[in-house]
Amino acid sequence: MRSASFLRKKWPIKRTPGPSIQLQIDFFHRLSHILEKGYPLLDSLSMTGWDARLKPVSHQLIEVLKGGDTLSLALEKAHFSNTVTQYLSFSQYQDDLPKTFKQCRELLLMKKEYKEKFLAAVRYPVFLLLFLFLTFIIMKRTIIPNFTVLFADQESSSLTLMHLMNHGLNTAGILFSAILILGAGLAVFIPMLPFEKKMKVIERFPPLRMYHSYRLSFLFSSHLASLFQAGLPLKDALMLVKEHKQHDILSYYCTNILENLSEGSTISASLHQCRLLRKELTDVFHHTNDMHALKHELDLFSEFLMTLMQEKIQKSIQWIQPVFFVGIAFVIVMVYAAIMLPLYQWMNQL
């Protein structure tokens, strides 16, 4: 692998809790509205502080900016969402701050909206799962052992069903525990992995690969569009993206692209080797070499990705409850059959 410096392990730093997502949304909405009136950034931040809820954040940002820090660093010190601070890494190259802050607000709104929808979608299924879990414990400890003893002297379909039910409960419990452990393990240990191993896990695990492909492609296209708008040529823009270590994968890809370009490869061929960048990006760069047209196409592509991410998340959430309910209904039918069929058979023998 190229660039051995990217293979060093970075331990995540625990962030101090910052403003709530809703407060950040309100902040960017108010600030972008004032900036659109033509006020400079510091004056706009001061006027944003007229709202008592936003005053502490606005005052802190003003002090940090007066100290010479960039906007993204100021927001990071104010403990804003990583989604915003990473997106604003290139805000100093933006000419249209109102548009940038509106996009930050849209990103946070999307994050908040789909988090709420996800929690609403899983709340009832999780309650049912907990109820079924308690039911399984009662069945394992009382009902199944008693029925097994009752039908131990006769070979019947009821006894077979009871044994199958017992094994099914054991298997379901093991699978459910394994899924929980795997999910927790991925969330905790992936950020701790060395870069090379982390890349392999992301590329081989479909849900992670899909998430990172949308996220990295959106960041890459939006950042390059901002830098092209500021008048930077392609190689200088890629160099700036490379220097921002907040996006370790994106920085690694830009390093490889620059090396390929120095060896005479085209930008389209270089992008094609970046497995976590969507292939549509290659098509965008293959379609035109004009920087002005490329800037507009990258803008459109980043907007397209945001819309596509919203649709994907919405569809995923819509599938949660039906899948849960079908699975729970199947389990309930099996439980009912495992309990009632032996009773009916026993009653017929009286």
**Tell me: the pLDDT tens digits for 200-229?**
888 888 888 888 888 888 888 877 877 777
Tokens of 150: 């009752």
Query: How does pLDDT run across 51-64, given as a tens digit for each residue?
Result: 889 889 899 899 88
Residue 335's pLDDT is 66
Confidence band of 120 (pLDDT split at 50, 70, 90)? confident
| Confidence class for position 91, pLDDT limits 50, 70, 90 | low
pLDDT value at residue 6: 39
Predicted local confidence at residue 10, as pLDDT = 41
Residue 36 scores a pLDDT above 70: yes
Whether the pLDDT of residue 8 is over 60: the answer is: no
- H runs (alpha helix) in the chain: 21-36, 41-48, 55-66, 71-77, 82-87, 97-138, 144-150, 157-189, 195-204, 206-229, 234-243, 248-262, 267-272, 279-287, 291-348
Model's pTM, two decimal places?
Answer: 0.58
Report helix, strand or coil for 54: coil
Contact (CB, 8 A) for 220 and 281? yes
Contact 281/295 with Cβ under 8 angstroms? Answer: no
As a whole number, mean pLDDT of residues 2-31 equals: 65
| pLDDT, position 121 | 67
Asked if 100 contacts 88 with a C-beta cutoff of 8 angstroms, the reply is: yes
CB of 18 within 8 A of CB of 79?
Answer: yes
Q: What angle do CA 106, 111, 115 make, to 5 degrees?
A: 145
Contact 80, 19 (CB under 8 A): yes
Rounded Cα distance between 172 and 163, Å, is 14
Query: Can you give the pLDDT at residue 103?
Result: 78
Residue 102 Cα to chain centre, angstroms: 20
The per-residue pLDDT for 263 is 87
**pLDDT for the residue 113:** 75
d(CA 212, CA 230): 27
User: Are the C-beta atoms of 87 and 103 separated by less than 8 Å?
Assistant: yes
Q: Residue 61 and residue 37: Cα distance in Å, rounded?
A: 20
Measured in residues, the chain has a length of 350
Highest mean pLDDT among 36-50, 104-118, 286-300: 36-50
Say which amino acid occupies 151. F
| CB 139, CB 112: distance < 8 Å | no
Alpha carbons 129 and 305: distance in angstroms, whole number: 35
Q: Is the pLDDT of residue 12 over 50?
A: no
- Residue whose C-alpha is closest to residue 221's, from 149, 305, 150, 137: 305
Structure tokens at 195: 């870069």
Nearest 5°: the CA angle 263, 265, 269 is 145
Q: How far apart are CA 334 and CA 326, in angstroms?
A: 12
d(CA 347, CA 350): 5
Q: Which residue has the tokens 């609403």?
A: 120
Gap between the Cα atoms of 46 and 55, Å rounded: 8
Rounded to whole angstroms, how far apart are CA atoms 331 and 168?
A: 10
Separation of alpha carbons 133 and 169, rounded Å: 10
Average pLDDT (273-285) is 85
